[in-house]
């Protein structure tokens, strides 16, 4: 790690004002990404991974705000920056790839035009001869065959994997320093998933870009990232090198998360009761802890209903 | 595109045939005997019979129907019994008056409602959002004849800003030579600025009445649809790419939000055609709405049938325009067409 990280998130707390009061989606999170580093943020849904990344780009919903802490991106204080400064950063210095690529693209605009919109916003006319040509180039870089024709395609005319390539082209069009990939492979079939991940890694490595990969898939994080941050209920519970965390997970939640990951040779039924076993998890409400729901699930007296719920959520996810 | 238009027109033929049959039967089923009506209260039974025979009303229903459709095929809508004029001519003369009024009302309404809805959606909770809510609630709860009467009372009777609600032009001006039938356009073509001003001042109140009526659904739909689109994932992508708020709102959000708004527009336009009947009555507007009402009261079949048929054709054309607009905005529709 270099002395000056590209992205430095310190003590970040994000709050959402809802009808039922203030919800702290992310609490006291510390994350740093060095230049050229690939970081994974792993956690189940609702753990605050996406909210953290939205806070970094300051694209939280109207109801959400950075309540505490600081986000420094290559010397710029994201919390204090003006909206104009932020707009200049987004797409040019920090880009984002979203899950569900088809929904992430404007359904009634040609994909080429959408890439061109980004180029037009960030690249001056003087620097490039033709934004259209540059957009075609961007499509070519994400290995879309016949980019000149595909420029005129609408998202509904492309497959899911193809749409995700377009989204990647869109995100990388201006050569940003940091790419945030928010569950980039969710909703794609397995073979496409690998192709998309390989493409992201290849392109970001070639440009010496930093990447944050947000995922619930530990396998994905292990295969592609240098470091892993594990989040649970809005807090970071463990940060470690990817190799270390899988060889020797420290936090009980990480261990459970690893055991909840489906692997070859392990049926889903076997995954279920293995989940539990550890009692105290940071941020766990002790009140829920004692209300047993279905103790017949396991003979192990230490099993907590939280564990059962946790598994169910994981199931919904995969 | 042309094949799509042709196809849609083909689809319209069965519904038009249906309209012809239904209006024919409906007018026959209405209470009231036109022969008795025209013979007058003092007429003898023989006189009524004679008129009935003359009108062809003594023939069996099926024969009457075939005579009617045969005439229609020759462009003959029959004659009005009250005015003695051919229905086709009268409708041709009166339709532009109604169309001018309706279109102006709709344009005014769109010009206010769409910006209002967009602003309300982009600034939820602001004063403009509240203004939008109040206007739309007021708009739906006020019936057109009431708004019309209030406007006449305030702006003509009390303030004296508007001319008397007595038709399309002040009596001092003569109607411009007919080119389009729209006085606003025809007076300008005739370079008659004074008459143009008069026509416009006559139009303002009834058009406003229609606009207030149609404002609510359009503004409401624009707001709701903008809110939905602004929360969608591709708008987030656009924001995350650093696009300017103008690009995000216009190119990304607004164009997508327009699709349901256009559907609403077509519905509102059909409501307006109906609401016209009342507004024309209040403002003594010589349109087809008031023509149809008068004919209906006097059991005058031919104008009523002509009116309903004209409306049906207009609905068909309107839906065609909407379909084309949809195709222009949404490439997915273009593919199906």
Write out pLDDT tens, residues B69-80: 888 888 787 777
Write out pLDDT tens, residues A255-296: 877 777 666 665 555 554 433 333 333 343 433 333 334 434
Across all residues in chain A, what is the average pLDDT? 78
Q: Crossing angle of helices A190-206/A160-172, nearest 10°?
A: 10
Contact A186, A178 (CB under 8 A): no
Tell me the domain boundaries of chain A.
1-35+43-93+178-184+212-249, 262-317
Q: Which residues of A touch B329 (CB under 8 A)?
A: 108
Contact A49, A20 (CB under 8 A): no
- The predicted pLDDT at position A240 comes to 84
Please state whether beta strands A64-73 and A7-18 pair in parallel, antiparallel, or not at all (unpaired).
antiparallel
Beta bridge mates, A179: A95, A211
How does residue A178 score in pLDDT terms, banded at 50, 70 and 90? very high
- Tokens 């916003």 correspond to A121
Partner residue opposite B244 with nearest CB, options A87, A106, A109: A87
Partner residue opposite A59 with nearest CB, options B234, B239, B330: B239
Report for A168-172, B30-34, B309-313: range of highest mean pLDDT: A168-172
Which pTM does this prediction carry? Answer: 0.78
In angstroms, what separates the C-alpha of B236 from chain A's closest C-alpha?
8
User: Based on C-alpha coordinates, what's the Rg of chain A?
Assistant: 21
Q: Is the pLDDT of residue A304 over 70?
A: no
Domain A1-35+43-93+178-184+212-249's class? alpha beta
Residue A11 Ramachandran class (φ > 0 left, ψ -120 to 50 alpha, else beta): left
Partner residue opposite B236 with nearest CB, options A59, A87, A108: A59
Write out pLDDT tens, residues B32-55: 677 777 777 777 778 888 877 877
Which chain A residues touch B if contact means CB-CB below 8 Å?
Answer: 57, 59, 62, 86-92, 95-96, 98, 100, 103-109, 117-118, 121-122, 154, 156, 167, 170-171
Say whether B243 and A91 touch across the interface (CB within 8 A).
Answer: yes
- The predicted pLDDT at position A292 comes to 37
Write out pLDDT tens, residues A38-85: 999 988 887 888 889 888 888 888 888 888 888 988 888 888 888 888
- The predicted pLDDT at position B223 comes to 92
- The predicted pLDDT at position A299 comes to 38
Q: In sequence order, what are the residues at sequence separation of 6 or more whose Cβ sits closer than 8 angstroms to the Cβ of residue A192? A: A159, A160, A161, A164, A185
Across all residues in chain B, what is the average pLDDT? 83
Which structure tokens are listed for B77? 């809508």
Write out pLDDT tens, residues A85-111: 888 888 888 999 988 888 899 998 999
Contact A308, A302 (CB under 8 A): no
Please state whether beta strands A210-215 and A38-42 pair in parallel, antiparallel, or not at all (unpaired).
parallel
- The predicted pLDDT at position A309 comes to 37
- The predicted pLDDT at position B147 comes to 84
Q: Give the 3-state secondary structure of chain B.
A: CHHHHHHHHHHHHHHHHHHHHHHHHHHHHCCCCHHHHHHCCCCCHHHHHHHHHHHCCCCCHHHHHHHHHHHHHCCCCCECCCCCCEHHHHHHHHHHHHHHHHHHHHHHHHHHHHHHHHHHHHCCCCHHHHHHHHHHHHHHHCCHHHHHHHHHHHHHHHCCCCCCCCCCCCCCCCCCCCCCCCHHHHHHHCCCHHHHHHHHHHHHHHHHHHHHHHHHHHHHHHHHHHHHHHCCHHHHHHHHCCCCHHHHHHHHHHHHHHHHHHHHHHHHHHHHHHHHHHHHHHCCCCCHHHHHHHHHHCCCHHHHHHHHHHHHHHHHHHHHHHHHHHHHHCHHHHHHC
Rounded to an integer, the average pLDDT of B149-159 is 84
More confident residue, B205 or B178: B205
CATH number of B95-287: 1.10.3720.10
Tell me how far apart the alpha carbons of residues A132 and A112 are, in angstroms, rounded to a whole number: 8
Write out pLDDT tens, residues A194-245: 888 889 888 888 888 999 999 888 888 888 888 989 888 888 888 888 888 8
Give burial (CB, 10 Å; 0-12/13-18/19+) of B151: buried
**Which value does ipTM take for this structure?**
0.76
Q: Which residue, among A162, A146, A53, A41, has the nearest Cα to A101 in the 3D structure?
A: A162
Partner residue opposite A91 with nearest CB, options B236, B241, B331: B241
Write out pLDDT tens, residues B228-287: 999 888 998 998 888 888 889 888 999 999 989 998 888 888 888 777 888 888 888 888
Q: Which residues of A touch B238 (CB under 8 A)?
A: 106, 117
Tell me how far apart the alpha carbons of residues A65 and A181 are, in angstroms, rounded to a whole number: 21
- Suggest the residue from A106, A138, A174 to mutate for an interface test with chain B (most B CBs closer than 10 A): A106
3-state secondary structure of A38: strand
Write out pLDDT tens, residues B92-148: 888 888 888 888 999 999 999 999 999 999 888 888 889 888 888 888 888 888 888
CB atoms within 10 A of CB B43: 16
What is the chain A residue with the closest CA to B241? Answer: A91
Task: Give the single-character DSSP code of A281.
Answer: -
What is the chain A residue with the closest CA to B328? Answer: A108
Say whether A62 and B124 touch across the interface (CB within 8 A).
Answer: yes
Say whether B233 and A90 touch across the interface (CB within 8 A).
Answer: no
Say whether A98 and B237 touch across the interface (CB within 8 A).
Answer: yes
- The predicted pLDDT at position B228 comes to 92
Q: Which residue, among B117, B113, B146, B95, has the nearest Cα to B268 in the 3D structure?
A: B113
**Sign of torsion over alpha carbons A38, B234, A183, A87:** positive
- The predicted pLDDT at position A268 comes to 54
- Suggest the residue from A108, A170, A184 to mutate for an interface test with chain B (most B CBs closer than 10 A): A108
Give burial (CB, 10 Å; 0-12/13-18/19+) of B202: buried
């Amino acid at each position: 790690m270099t002395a000056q990280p590209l992205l430095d998130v310190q003590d970040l707390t994000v709050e959402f004002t809802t009808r039922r009061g203030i919800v702290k989606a992310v609490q006291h999170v510390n994350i740093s990404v060095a230049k050229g580093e690939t970081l994974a943020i792993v956690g189940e849904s609702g753990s605050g991974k996406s909210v953290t990344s939205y806070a970094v780009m300051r694209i939280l919903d109207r109801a959400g705000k950075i309540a505490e802490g600081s986000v420094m991106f290559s010397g710029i204080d994201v919390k204090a920056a003006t909206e104009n400064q932020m707009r200049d950063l987004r797409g040019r210095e920090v880009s984002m790839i979203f899950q569900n690529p088809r929904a992430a693209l404007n359904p009634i605009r040609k994909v080429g035009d959408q890439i061109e919109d980004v180029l037009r916003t960030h690249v001056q006319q003087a620097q490039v001869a033709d934004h259209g040509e540059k957009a075609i180039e961007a499509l070519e870089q994400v290995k879309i065959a016949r980019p000149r024709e595909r420029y005129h395609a609408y998202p509904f005319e492309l497959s899911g994997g193809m749409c995700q390539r377009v989204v990647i082209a869109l995100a990388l069009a201006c050569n940003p320093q940091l790419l945030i990939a928010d569950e980039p492979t969710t909703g794609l079939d397995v073979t496409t998933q690998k192709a998309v991940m390989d493409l992201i890694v290849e392109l970001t490595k070639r440009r010496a870009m930093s990447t944050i990969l947000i995922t619930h898939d530990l396998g994905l994080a292990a295969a592609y990232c240098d470091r892993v941050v594990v989040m649970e209920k809005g807090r970071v519970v463990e940060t470690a090198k990817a190799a270390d965390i899988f060889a020797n997970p420290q936090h009980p939640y990480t261990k459970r998360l690893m055991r909840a990951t489906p692997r070859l040779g392990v049926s889903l039924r076997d995954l279920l009761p293995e989940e539990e076993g550890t009692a105290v998890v940071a941020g766990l409400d002790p009140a829920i802890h004692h209300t047993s729901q279905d103790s017949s699930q396991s003979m192990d007296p230490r099993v907590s209903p939280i564990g059962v719920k946790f598994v169910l959520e994981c199931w919904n996810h995969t | 595109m042309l094949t799509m238009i042709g196809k849609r027109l083909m689809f319209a033929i069965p519904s038009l045939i249906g309209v012809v049959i239904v209006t024919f039967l409906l007018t026959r089923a209405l209470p009231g005997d036109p022969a008795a009506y025209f013979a007058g209260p003092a007429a003898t039974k023989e006189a009524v019979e004679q008129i009935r025979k003359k009108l062809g009303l003594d023939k069996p229903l099926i024969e009457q129907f075939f005579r009617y459709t045969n005439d229609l095929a020759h462009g003959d809508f029959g004659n009005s019994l009250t005015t003695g004029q051919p229905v086709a001519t009268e409708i041709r003369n009166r339709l532009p008056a109604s169309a001018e009024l309706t279109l102006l009302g709709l344009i005014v309404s769109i010009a206010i409602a769409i910006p209002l809805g967009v602003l309300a959606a982009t600034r939820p909770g602001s004063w403009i959002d509240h203004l939008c809510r109040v206007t739309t609630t007021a708009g739906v709860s006020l019936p057109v004849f009431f708004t019309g009467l209030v406007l006449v009372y305030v702006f003509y009777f009390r303030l004296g800003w508007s001319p008397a609600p007595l038709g399309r032009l002040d009596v001092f001006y003569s109607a411009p030579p007919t080119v389009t039938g729209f006085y606003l356009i025809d007076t300008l073509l005739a370079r008659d600025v004074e008459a143009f001003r008069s026509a416009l001042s006559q139009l303002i109140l009834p058009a406003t009445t229609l606009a207030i009526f149609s404002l609510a659904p359009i503004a409401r739909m624009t707001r709701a649809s903008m809110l939905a689109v602004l929360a969608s994932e591709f708008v987030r992508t656009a924001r995350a790419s650093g696009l300017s708020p103008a690009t995000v709102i216009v190119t990304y959000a607004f164009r997508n939000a327009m699709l349901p708004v256009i559907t609403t527009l077509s519905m509102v336009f059909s409501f307006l055609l109906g609401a016209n009947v009342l507004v024309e009555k209040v403002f003594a507007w010589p349109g087809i709405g008031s023509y149809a009402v008068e004919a209906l009261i006097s059991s005058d079949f031919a104008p009523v049938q002509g009116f309903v048929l004209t409306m049906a054709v207009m609905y068909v054309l309107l839906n065609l325009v909407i379909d084309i607009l949809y195709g222009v905005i949404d490439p997915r529709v273009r593919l199906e067409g």
